[in-house]
A and B are shown apart, each in its own frame.
Chain A
Amino acid sequence: ETGVTQTPRHLVMGMTNKKSLKCEQHLGHNAMYWYKQSAKKPLELMFVYSLEERVENNSVPSRFSPECPNSSHLFLHLHTLQPEDSALYLCASSQRLQGAVGELFFGEGSRLTVL
């Protein structure tokens, strides 16, 4: 299997549920990212894991918590979400080169609906 794989592709959850999104990259990259894509808005960076460094967007609510057990796997744990969190969540990977973001490779996304 190649590229960036995300599961599940679709998720419907209630506001009191706890769920997780999973991402796996088979490209040998050293950086992985979570982005949120809402309708008619630009992609919003949520979290970055690169070379054991974690960078987060301070505007992301604490009900989203990332986990990166190794360079190939990335999770996004979801708990007590709100309906406005409904969006397409995209995982991406790249090489981190001299402080710059290399070419991004995206997964197919996880479409989240919060009821």
Chain B
Amino acid sequence: KNQVEQSPQSLIILEGKNCTLQCNYTVSPFSNLRWYKQDTGRGPVSLTIMTFSENTKSNGRYTATLDADTKQSSLHITASQLSDSASYICVVSATGAGSYQLTFGKGTKLSVIP
């Protein structure tokens, strides 16, 4: 069964600090891995999409890494800001039959405090 596990479930950090969120997946055959940011009560917004051949991708202060061998990804946030407070969702896409189906993690809820 395809699964995406994210850790931690929630995280509180001080403004200006860095943090790393983790995503482990068991999705096969792998197509790509995506990170989304979702503000409370809003729709998710795409941060990065990585294919099998990409092991690092940045979007401003957000840097995602992918290790396709160990089936792990991380999202690193540098110099956090109050506006980074949100849920971060890891999503893995498979190829082949049922390829409409994306496997979503439950998300990590990040709170950045002053």
* Residues of chain A at the chain B interface (Cβ within 8 Å): 4, 6, 40-43, 45, 48, 50, 55, 88, 90, 92, 99-101, 103-109, 111
Contact = CB atoms under 8 A, between A and B. Distances in A.
B49 interface: yes
Nearest to A104: B46
Given A45-B102, A55-B100, A100 B41 contact: no
A107 B105 contact: no
A108 B100 contact: no
Interface of B: 4, 31-32, 34, 41-46, 49, 89, 93, 95-96, 99-107
Given A42-B4, A42-B104, A45-B101, A100 B43 contact: no
Contacts of A42: 4, 103-107
A43 B100 contact: no
24 contacts: A4-B43, A6-B43, A42-B104, A42-B107, A43-B44, A43-B89, A45-B101, A45-B102, A48-B100, A55-B100, A90-B44, A92-B43, A99-B95, A100-B95, A100-B99, A103-B34, A104-B34, A104-B46, A105-B46, A107-B43, A108-B43, A109-B41, A109-B42, A111-B41
A101 B93 contact: yes
Contacts of A111: 41
A101 B106 contact: no
A45 B11 CA distance: 27
A99 B95 CA distance: 7
A43 B90 CA distance: 11
B93 A106 contact: no
Contacts of B103: 42
A41 B107 CA distance: 9
Contact of A101 (B44, B96, B99): B99
Given A99-B96, A109-B41, 4 more contacts: A42-B105, A43-B104, A90-B44, A108-B43
Contacts of B100: 45, 48, 50, 55, 101
A16 to B, nearest CB: 27
